[in-house]
Structure 1
């Protein structure tokens, strides 16, 4: 593997670990005594440090080591979690990220030293730090729960679980006390307790020779150097020798013998004689000399005086532990093999989607040619090709789907930092993090959500004193929810703040000339005024808001995703912002229609039904563009008139009834052709701002069909209905 590739591998792992680190630090604010979370923080730092040193990122390794040392104090019960500690730790996380992004790998040296100085002050109690009260022995660290964090834009990870399994090893550790030293067993036990923080002690045998020493069999996902570091800083005069016995991939902690499935066979395990020879306790000739006897080898060796009983017991313990270790390892690998995964770059996925899109177009062309031939055998093959292309399309798009929680996770940090800056107390709750969206949609959704959350924090949630005076809880709440709604995904940002003042919005709109003083607007139309460029009701400009830049950007971003955004608000109660987005931007199911010689596609997820429109229906409406649909008056828009298509309308036209946000409108066309797999192609600059069009697709015969922007047409029709009274 080239240096560039190894560096990229390290960075990818580090980015994921930093994402987990940030999440864990934020969780500690709510549960500061949760040892599992503390262990996750420590393990993330330890892994970044070790990998950084291995791949030549010495500055990152040294900086992370200092932060890790502070959290080692937390693990040992010497330091309590505090807000200053978490704030500095989050800053340290950001600094490590900037070091990864820096070409030199070093980042801002002065900033890094400032963070470390702050952590030292916290550890010493000079900056809000405090020793943990009545600290119980730290719990044994468990393997980190590797969570899917926000991956770099260049990467997408599909089910990272198998790659995140820790690599565990079995070690023999010889701990000898320096000659002439007076060390009691309790002192040695304290060393073993410290060792136990890195893994599991499988056996320990105390040899009471002239100088007592421990023979320990130890299981851990740490390396031998990390184990030896435990003994570097002890005041006890000992020498330590660490020997790796076995190394396997295991998913969980070591399984006790009585919990291991008997049907899973252990791998080859060294025999007792081999272990003793390998340890240097017995010469191979002595083994050969006693093998002829029928007694167990360990007993025979003891009787012959070749080796002490303690050494035999220790070797037997290693043999038994190794057997169990390999059995559990094989069982774990069997489980992992059923859910293997790989890491694929986003560029490769995008290229695959493009290829599938072209295949769908070719398949449509083949189907069109075959239908004109009337050959049954060709028709059968064409139908099979269509089925396979449908499955390939769905499978490929499924690969690009990511849980929206990858975007939600970073907002906890935003809410924490900004609310602290503004002197507010705010909790962020998230629901539906498992809801899946296309990777491209998620990437482009991040900035609009940041704008909306910042507005909720700044404009929506009041300061604690104001909330208390109004009978509210001092802590405000922002709830971020994602859920499926038909063929779309709906995202809601809800706060329990002061809500929006319709009167204040109207006054500001009149000042800016956006409406006249006597103009009557619905609540929805009033709230939508905040999406106008330069509109802001803030009384003063801050570094957060007030310049009128942001909400119009949000509106354009959501529109570019073929989505819609709406606001409902009640003064004194709070505000709900609803975003509706398509699942994917690549391929959709559409309804193909024709007006004269031009073809259009309507997203099938919005189509409810198709009905006829006759000259009699038009006459009965007295020139109004409404149709009576089973007692319901439904407005409609003529595509021929909207796009100024030449030619006469047929005697009987077709109305495609579409539904959106609880309302219905009709789209009048000449002919409804049928369903069509639509590979979405973006429009060039000349046509990008044409109202009513969101994209284009290539039909089976190679000609173009325009994709109708139904939400835009909806707004236009409803505005015309409102204007007509």
Structure 2
């Protein structure tokens, strides 16, 4: 028996819908006349309302009904989506989120938000737009026997699938939604109800015929069944007055309607293009079914799985990869052709399973970037700074757990850029800049790393102020020499801030410390580049430490190491006679380009004599190419990353360890930190050489 909480299922689905609604509202602010965006927002609201009622969140459903009613004027073109309306709609979105978490939220706040939303939609665009009759006016006109619009409407016939009740669909809610559009005549068709002894209590046997007498569009009727119509029988036909029906029959001998609700091109409620096409297919049973396949083909089935199960699956696949490596090594030792064939087949299947399993954890970083549009929008309104938010590289994929940990650091970086980096409009005008500042968030793969950059076109960092605050805090000695990069990274020290006063956004020196601690925990690094008067770019560099990677197995002395294959550019033999130059550095001439190299024997203090013909593995770290000198290149292998213990957490040059096919352990090199460590070693050695020379 399932232990899944239906309320939790709704909350998860509602979170996605609320995110869709928010993105649509922010897009609508930039493109207020885009009908597709309006439709996207409206469908999100409609789904939330129906799902909320289905799962017992009545407060959510009732609030969204009023929200939807007000926003419907935007969809009909009676109101324009200006900044005031978008602000009110975003407040309403926030209130929906609060109602889902706590249905007992003070209803007065919701009423105030709805009142503000109604004021916003009743402004611009109302006078210029045509004034369609509301449902009440249509009913009054019907009583007074007014023109044909009084009896215009729709005849709706629908039958839900047999398992609809089991899946949580409530037909009474659908009928209520139809009643909310206008006066309805309902008829339940019980022809298919079996005898009592054969009735299944959870199956739906009824069909319904509904005559809706209201001047509403077919789209409004269709929206009632938007999320249940794929597997149901549905027919929506326009009603017509007697006069228009006579004109329709006289004008087209192909149509013969036995029922008073037959289609007619003169129906006031239906647009001409729709009513012209509908009657021909009205009596054809294939009509409703023809609409379903396109809807099904556009949908992508998804299944929510707890993250713990994915972690467990990844662990099992990792163990399978290790077992497969042992089998392959055993097959090579025994030299049995049949065993070799089986080992190769298992290796192929294991690789495919590994890629599929890893793909379930990989998420485009655009799912994270989308959250910050609202943050930038609200900060822009709060500080009075017009800001253009640009996101690039949204399809760059990262492990879901890494993306979740990046949320807080990026929030702090964005708030810092908006508050400290971007100037006020009048200040930007004085320096010849556009009044609208630009905040850019980008992501890209660079070898075995992912680089995430937050950049702005603001005033840049003030090096003198940073140095003065660092000296006051005792982080720097007065006059101590320091590079620009190291000075800029001082802003990430705990409690460090250059703000002259504490505000609601910044000034306490906490946010940047959070950034540094999180990135250090992910074994990444931070670069800060700034140009005074032109802006600042903060780049977060993270290693691609997935659970399973392709690696290049190498030997240094008696020890074996794995280099992530994504970082490897090429392999070659170390030329004979290559030695250090006078400056204490080692270089290779690769097709006219000087590439520095590091001898892993020296870095790891490996004992014994090196092999006579050493090899160089050229790796890429960001824009830097470095050669790693090893004794032997063994070959490629699938590497299962095992995290190091807390005792070894300070070894930044290794990202983990892996178990080889023979049961021995090989350390996995962290290319980014290894190169940085090698550079520090070379600089220390160079300084010692210069000191002895002096």
Kindly indicate whether the alpha-carbon contact (under 8 Å) linking 1:95 and 1:107 is maintained by their aligned counterparts in 2: no
Distance 2:665 2:364 in 1: 34
- Cα offset, 1:446, TM superposition: 1.8
Find out whether 1:325 has 2:276 as its counterpart.
Answer: no
Distance 1:617 1:434 in 2: 43
Q: Give the aligned partner of residue 68 of structure 1.
A: 68
Equivalent of residue 297 in structure 2, options 335, 345, 348: 335
Equivalent of residue 624 in structure 1, options 579, 584, 588: 584
- Cα offset, 1:693, TM superposition: 1.7
Equivalent of residue 241 in structure 1, options 170, 174, 186: 186
Which secondary structure state, in structure 1, belongs to the residue aligned with residue 432 of structure 2? coil
Equivalent of residue 592 in structure 1, options 546, 553, 561: 553
Change (3 A) 1:121 1:625: closer
Kindly indicate whether the alpha-carbon contact (under 8 Å) linking 1:122 and 1:130 is maintained by their aligned counterparts in 2: no
Kindly indicate whether the alpha-carbon contact (under 8 Å) linking 1:66 and 1:116 is maintained by their aligned counterparts in 2: no
Find out whether 1:524 has 2:485 as its counterpart.
Answer: yes
- Cα offset, 1:698, TM superposition: 1.5
Distance 2:109 2:418 in 1: 29
Change (3 A) 1:720 1:540: farther
| 1:315-714 superposed matches below 5 A | 317=279, 320=282, 323=285, 325-329=287-291, 331-332=293-294, 335=297, 340-583=301-544, 585-612=546-573, 617-618=578-579, 621=581, 624=584, 626-630=586-590, 634-645=595-606, 647=608, 649-650=610-611, 653-714=614-675
- Cα offset, 1:456, TM superposition: 1.2
Distance 1:612 1:179 in 2: 92
- Cα offset, 1:521, TM superposition: 4.3
Distance 1:463 1:221 in 2: 55
Which sections of structure 2, spanning at least 5 residues, go unmatched?
Answer: 133-137, 158-170, 189-206, 211-217, 220-230, 236-252, 265-277, 688-694
Which secondary structure state, in structure 1, belongs to the residue aligned with residue 506 of structure 2? coil
Equivalent of residue 229 in structure 1, options 177, 180, 197: 180
Distance 1:239 1:560 in 2: 62
Distance 1:38 1:632 in 2: 55
- Cα offset, 1:470, TM superposition: 1.5
Change (3 A) 1:532 1:310: closer
- Cα offset, 1:184, TM superposition: 1.0
Distance 1:593 1:336 in 2: 48
Distance 2:119 2:378 in 1: 25
Distance 1:376 1:462 in 2: 72
Q: Give the aligned partner of residue 206 of structure 1.
A: none
Kindly indicate whether the alpha-carbon contact (under 8 Å) linking 2:186 and 2:208 is maintained by their aligned counterparts in 1: no
Please give the per-residue CA displacement for 1:309-329, whole angstroms capped at 9, x wherever unaligned: 664956995972553533423
Change (3 A) 1:547 1:615: farther
Change (3 A) 1:551 1:124: closer
Change (3 A) 1:640 1:129: farther
Distance 1:184 1:654 in 2: 94
Distance 1:491 1:180 in 2: 63
Please give the per-residue CA displacement for 1:9-51, whole angstroms capped at 9, x wherever unaligned: 3222211111111111212222234343333333322322222
Moved more, 500-509 or 703-712: 500-509
Instruction: Give the RMSD, CA atoms, in angstroms.
Output: 4.0
Distance 2:115 2:383 in 1: 27
Please give the per-residue CA displacement for 1:376-408, whole angstroms capped at 9, x wherever unaligned: 332232222222222221222223322221111
Equivalent of residue 185 in structure 1, options 135, 140, 147: 147
Change (3 A) 1:30 1:615: closer
Distance 1:84 1:705 in 2: 61
Distance 1:671 1:534 in 2: 48
- Cα offset, 1:431, TM superposition: 2.3
Distance 1:221 1:634 in 2: 73
- Cα offset, 1:342, TM superposition: 3.9
- Cα offset, 1:332, TM superposition: 2.4
- Cα offset, 1:617, TM superposition: 3.8
Change (3 A) 1:222 1:722: farther
Kindly indicate whether the alpha-carbon contact (under 8 Å) linking 2:156 and 2:209 is maintained by their aligned counterparts in 1: no
Which secondary structure state, in structure 2, belongs to the residue aligned with residue 686 of structure 1? helix
Moved more, 536-545 or 632-641: 632-641
TM-score by length of 2: 0.76
- Cα offset, 1:268, TM superposition: 11
TM-score by length of 1: 0.73
- Cα offset, 1:666, TM superposition: 3.5
Kindly indicate whether the alpha-carbon contact (under 8 Å) linking 1:594 and 1:672 is maintained by their aligned counterparts in 2: yes
Change (3 A) 1:608 1:3: closer
Please give the per-residue CA displacement for 1:639-687, whole angstroms capped at 9, x wherever unaligned: 4454455555555544433221222334344433222211112222111
Distance 1:698 1:595 in 2: 17
Please give the per-residue CA displacement for 1:566-588, whole angstroms capped at 9, x wherever unaligned: 22221111122333444562211
Kindly indicate whether the alpha-carbon contact (under 8 Å) linking 2:327 and 2:343 is maintained by their aligned counterparts in 1: yes
Change (3 A) 1:269 1:510: closer
Distance 1:472 1:377 in 2: 72
Find out whether 1:132 has 2:125 as its counterpart.
Answer: yes
Distance 2:626 2:93 in 1: 51
Which secondary structure state, in structure 2, belongs to the residue aligned with residue 534 of structure 1? coil
Please give the per-residue CA displacement for 1:628-649, whole angstroms capped at 9, x wherever unaligned: 4457655444444544555555
Equivalent of residue 119 in structure 1, options 114, 117, 141: 114
Q: Give the aligned partner of residue 10 of structure 2.
A: 10
Moved more, 645-654 or 586-595: 645-654
Kindly indicate whether the alpha-carbon contact (under 8 Å) linking 1:408 and 1:433 is maintained by their aligned counterparts in 2: yes
Moved more, 467-476 or 367-376: 367-376
Kindly indicate whether the alpha-carbon contact (under 8 Å) linking 1:533 and 1:548 is maintained by their aligned counterparts in 2: yes
Moved more, 350-359 or 621-630: 621-630
Equivalent of residue 108 in structure 1, options 105, 110, 133: 105
Distance 2:385 2:336 in 1: 73
Which sections of structure 1, spanning at least 5 residues, go unmatched?
Answer: 140-175, 203-219, 232-237, 248-252, 255-265, 271-298, 303-307
Kindly indicate whether the alpha-carbon contact (under 8 Å) linking 2:446 and 2:621 is maintained by their aligned counterparts in 1: no
Report the count of equivalent residues: 600
| 1:77-96 superposed matches below 5 A | 79-96=79-96
Change (3 A) 1:100 1:623: same
Kindly indicate whether the alpha-carbon contact (under 8 Å) linking 1:269 and 1:319 is maintained by their aligned counterparts in 2: no
